[in-house]
Structure 1
């Protein structure tokens, strides 16, 4: 295990190893991904395990998730889907909405109320991830976001790779990451700061790699052919570095 867990189980991070998902992912990419699914009026759900709701009604694997929809996953469930050039993994007990951008299948805002989402975003118009305590402006990147409801909605956010405009309270920063630069969005300032450094928790390289593949991408560490330290600094230096913006 090359990741740290906080309030989650190892089994939640192993979804990409199941034969059912591997078959579904191979079929998804083999059939042409989201563009082909849209043209052929097929579902954009790559995998659904357990129970989930779409706009308050039970979600079925053959349905399509569109911008403007709200999604809620139940205990022990998870959902993998794609919209446009972006792909998403929704962990159990999560609630989110995907706001509409310039077109029906372009996400402008992912609003996470509670729970956790791993996501990979294609390049193009700027989009945002919004939680109760943090906002992230996306420019084409991989990210992991988790809202800890029991900690007054304290938000964990990892810029797994790419460039992101971060904001929490009065704090602003530009995060440039090659390998997991992580933050806390604090519900109340800590030592005067609402945006504080974190280490990488609750998600794995392999999860982001699979999501990137579904979106027709490769992660920064796949492109560079090496990995870094999961100290939250965002660098491919294996010993880590104080690279977080101040």
Structure 2
């Protein structure tokens, strides 16, 4: 059986979470109850779903807790977490440590910091925000992204759609993607570069679409009504390797 996604160090179940009946029911309830504005008005949690062991600021998370900017989140093995802050939605995979920092208001994320593990996230349009991994930084406005830190600290980042300013130890690239443009932030330079092209791995279109729906958004490919070539190049049509913005110019 073939799949429209490539896995590297991840299990099939980790990327197929959007197909779980409980997850679909939780998402449908979240949307039906008015999303984040409804949750705030009714003083409900902004957590759409969590499974397994999650530590929030060092303490075991319980049902109906709310995640705020400034919180430190750690997921254990076989655990995961879906939550919304402002116009940003996050799916935190197992064995992940991350935090979100406050922007101009309590419900605005200015920065997402990923220390270990992986996160799929969708950000609606707004002020410039940053996503920080051990070996790369991304400046975003509105986009869907997948970020992962590998055990050797090599950082992976996919701009699933939108415009992102990428940087890694002095290397810079402007990523403008309609369909999954991927990068490595290298620990040691490869051919003199710390920011290098990557393939599209470890995340699916359905994950990004799922999170976009939680915040009333659509992905670029949903808006266009078509999908591109999922090779990490970022374009709807096949392009040569030198068209990747992380290739030396």
Q: Do they superpose with TM above 0.5? A: yes
Structure 1: distance between partners of 2:42 and 2:71: 21
Structure 2: distance between partners of 1:34 and 1:211: 13
Q: How does 1:212-231 map to 2 (within 5 A)?
A: 212-231=212-231
1:119-161 per-residue CA deviation (whole Å, 9 max, x = no partner) reads 0001010101001101000110000000012x2x100100000
- The answer as to 2:147 corresponding to 1:145 is yes
SS of the equivalent of 1:61 reads coil
SS of the equivalent of 1:141 reads strand
Residue 240 (structure 1) shift: 4.2
Structure 1: distance between partners of 2:20 and 2:231: 29
CA distance change for structure 1 residues 138 and 15 in 2, over 3 Å: closer, same or farther?
Answer: same
- Give every structure 1 segment of 4 or more consecutive aligned residues whose post-TM-superposition deviation is greater than 6 Å: none
SS of the equivalent of 1:28 reads helix
Structure 2: distance between partners of 1:65 and 1:207: 21
Q: How does 1:69-218 map to 2 (within 5 A)?
A: 69-149=71-151, 151=152, 153-218=153-218
Structure 2: distance between partners of 1:174 and 1:66: 30
Is the Cα contact below 8 Å between 1:47 and 1:61 reproduced in 2?
Answer: no
Structure 2 unmatched ranges of 5 or more = none
Is the Cα contact below 8 Å between 1:231 and 1:240 reproduced in 2?
Answer: no
Structure 2: distance between partners of 1:212 and 1:41: 22
Structure 2: distance between partners of 1:189 and 1:60: 43
Residue 61 (structure 1) shift: 2.6
Is the Cα contact below 8 Å between 1:156 and 1:183 reproduced in 2?
Answer: yes
TM-score by structure 2 length?
A: 0.96
Is the Cα contact below 8 Å between 1:71 and 1:96 reproduced in 2?
Answer: yes
Aligned to 1:32: 34
Structure 2: distance between partners of 1:59 and 1:176: 37
Is the Cα contact below 8 Å between 1:138 and 1:164 reproduced in 2?
Answer: yes
Is the Cα contact below 8 Å between 1:116 and 1:146 reproduced in 2?
Answer: yes
- The answer as to 2:62 corresponding to 1:60 is yes
Of 16, 20, 23, which aligns to 1:21?
23
Structure 2: distance between partners of 1:55 and 1:44: 16
Cα RMSD after superposing both structures: 0.9
